[in-house]
Amino acid sequence: MNYQQAVEYLNSFINYEREVNCDYSDMKLDRVKQLLAQLNNPQDKFKSIHIVGTKGKGSTCAFIFSILKEAGYTAGLYTSPHLIDFKERIKISYHDVMEETRERLIEQDEVTALVEEIKPYADAISGLTFFEIYTVLAFMFFAQQKIEFAVLETGLGGRLDATNVVKPLVCGFASISLEHTQILGNSIEKITREKAGIIKKDTLVVSVTQLPQAWAEIESACKDNNAKLYQIGKDFLYDVVGNNLDGSIFDFNGKDIDYYGLHISMAGQFQVVNAALAIGVIHLLRFYEIVISSIAIRRGLQATHWPGRMQIVHKNPFLVFDGAQNPASAQVLRAAVNMIFIPKKSILVFGVCKDKDVRGMIQYLGRQQNMIILTQSQNPRAMDVDELANLLPQFKRIIRKTHTVQEAMKLAFENSSSKDDLILVTGSLYVVGEAFTALKTIKCPRY
């Protein structure tokens, strides 16, 4: 088997990231556990940290991974979705010949070898999905690489998510808002109940400040599992002292810990919340006699890079990519943009998936735009631009329609005329991923 054949095999499994209709009842942890058991349960061969939420969970995972790496640990990072290549989902830190700690993505030959190993067992199990088999592949890779920690981002929900076969040392809850309502439920309570399904007996849990309905569900799940719950904003405090194009500076305080002048290189004050959650998770490792130095925390935060999340890709004019995909994340993105930029002209490149609350998102993203360029990714779940335009009649005068992200990027650049212009690309990580690809063949203007 070569790499292309391995990719084709993985893509032969149903992929709910590309399916319009997802039947939640089709998700079964039993088949994941069965496959893992036949592969000698690789998920039990390393310590796990499990992060769930609606927005911010990927960034939180990236911060934690970077801190562990700076502390000298070998760690694995498993996230989804990817922007361009699905190898992006699996990353490890490792020690080179000079004992320096570095990081890398899984390589093609490693994917191929793992698929060859998994295939005989997977073929005998009915109903496996792409995400399930790729999660198993990640666990096998981590075990083979003898990592010490795995930092795991949940995919859809939590309770039935393929990552929910581990018993983590710490569970982290990023911000929870309405998402995938047709699958997870049409209320904050129902969605949080599904996400709180990652909480295990006698574990430690830390959460950012949540809506009251979400907090009640997390508290209830912790009580049922005898899990100790901590809160960012109560048990751990943070204070933003600076915020600009180069990131944010903040202080962090908790029992027996005080960190001043921490710096993250990711733009957007909302990333401070994710960074604070990451520090909270790292601090709770002390209960397992795992103490991370303040130097590693400081260096890890500053070194964290998480593409496609309030990322300033280009200056003169400003080109910003962000994967905001629901009203709550759109509101946070709008606030961050308003805090950092004072554009002469603002151009929005916007594409979404069919199951998204378009009107809810555009109420935050559509205002103050000189031009809105609608587009669609190549993902089968992408909403057609004509359907999208029909949902936004109040913006008819400033809307332009394109049928590919490359076309949208080209049009945005053609309509930019000043170094102070802002082009914001958002609505979907799939759109952002294709925008990155477009930049390989389209040159950004420079003034």
**What CATH number is attached to the domain comprising 417?**
3.90.190.20
Whether 96 and 190 share a structural domain: yes
Label residue 181 by pLDDT band (50, 70, 90). low
* Domain match, 150 and 93 both: yes
Residues ≥6 apart with Cβ < 8 Å to 362: 330, 350, 391, 392, 395
Percentage of residues of the chain with pLDDT beyond 90: 85
366 and 268 part of one domain: no
394 in any annotated domain = yes
One domain, residues 315 and 292: no
pLDDT score recorded for residue 315 = 92
Please tell me the distance from the alpha carbon of residue 107 to that of residue 96, in angstroms, as a whole number: 16
* Residue 58 phi, psi dihedral angles, 5° rounding: -65, -45
State mean pLDDT over 234-239. 96
Provide the pLDDT confidence category of residue 310 given band limits of 50, 70 and 90.
Answer: very high
Strand (E) or helix (H) holding 134? helix 130-144
- Residue 22's pLDDT is 65
Kindly state whether residues 152 and 15 are assigned to the same domain. Answer: yes
pLDDT attached to residue 25:
65
The verdict on residue 446 lying in a domain is no
pLDDT at 257 over 80: yes
Please list, in sequence order, all residues whose beta carbon lies within 8 angstroms of the beta carbon of residue 113, skipping any fewer than 6 positions away.
none
Q: Which of 275, 303, 331 is at the close of a domain?
A: 303
**Could you give the C-alpha distances from 13 to 182, 268, 397, in angstroms and in order?**
22, 37, 43
- 260-271, pLDDT tens digit by residue? 999 999 988 889
Residue 384 lies in a domain: yes
Domain assignment present for residue 445? The answer is no
Q: Which pLDDT band holds residue 99 (cuts at 50, 70, 90)?
A: confident
> How much is the mean pLDDT over the chain?
94
Residue 443 located in a structural domain: no
Q: Are residues 321 and 285 in the same domain?
A: no
The reply to whether 71 and 144 lie within a common domain is yes
Q: What mean pLDDT is predicted for residues 365-376?
A: 94
Q: What is the pLDDT of residues 145-154, one digit of tens each?
A: 999 999 999 9
| 372-422 pLDDT per residue, tens | 999 999 999 999 999 999 999 888 889 999 999 999 999 999 999 999 999
- pLDDT per position as a tens digit, 211-225: 999 999 999 999 999
Distances, alpha carbon 287 to alpha carbons 10, 169, 278, 355, in Å: 39, 9, 16, 41
* Same domain as 73, residue 154: yes
Q: Give yes or no for a contact between 419 and 447, defined as CB atoms under 8 angstroms apart.
A: yes
pLDDT digits (tens, 9 = 90+) for 12-67: 998 888 776 666 667 789 999 999 999 999 999 999 999 999 999 999 999 999 99
Same domain, 293 and 337: no
* Mean pLDDT along residues 295-323: 95
Question: How high is the pLDDT of residue 156?
Answer: 84
Tell me the CATH number at 217: 3.40.1190.10
* CB-based burial label for 256 (10 Å; 0-12, 13-18, 19+): exposed
Is 0.75 topped by the overall pTM?
Answer: yes
Domain assignment of residue 447, yes or no: no
H/E stretch holding 320: strand 318-321
The rounded distance, in Å, linking the Cα atoms of 150 and 228 is: 21
Domain closes at, from 303, 326, 356 = 303
Residues spanned by the domain of 419: 311-438
Q: Does residue 379 sit within a domain?
A: yes
Q: Which of 303, 323, 346 is the last residue of a domain?
A: 303
Same domain, 97 and 201: yes
> How many domains does the structure of the chain reveal?
2
In this predicted structure, what is the pLDDT of residue 20?
62
- 245 or 6: which leads in pLDDT: 6
Q: Tell me: the pLDDT tens digits for 278-290?
A: 999 999 999 999 9
Here the tokens at position 88 are 């992006």
Cβ count near 5 (within 10 Å): 12
Confidence of residue 444 (pLDDT cuts 50, 70, 90): confident
The answer as to whether 62 is a domain residue is yes
Residue 24 is predicted with a pLDDT of: 65
> Are both 48 and 185 inside the same structural domain?
yes
Same domain, 285 and 426: no
Please check the confidence at residue 121 and state whether its pLDDT lies above 70.
Answer: yes
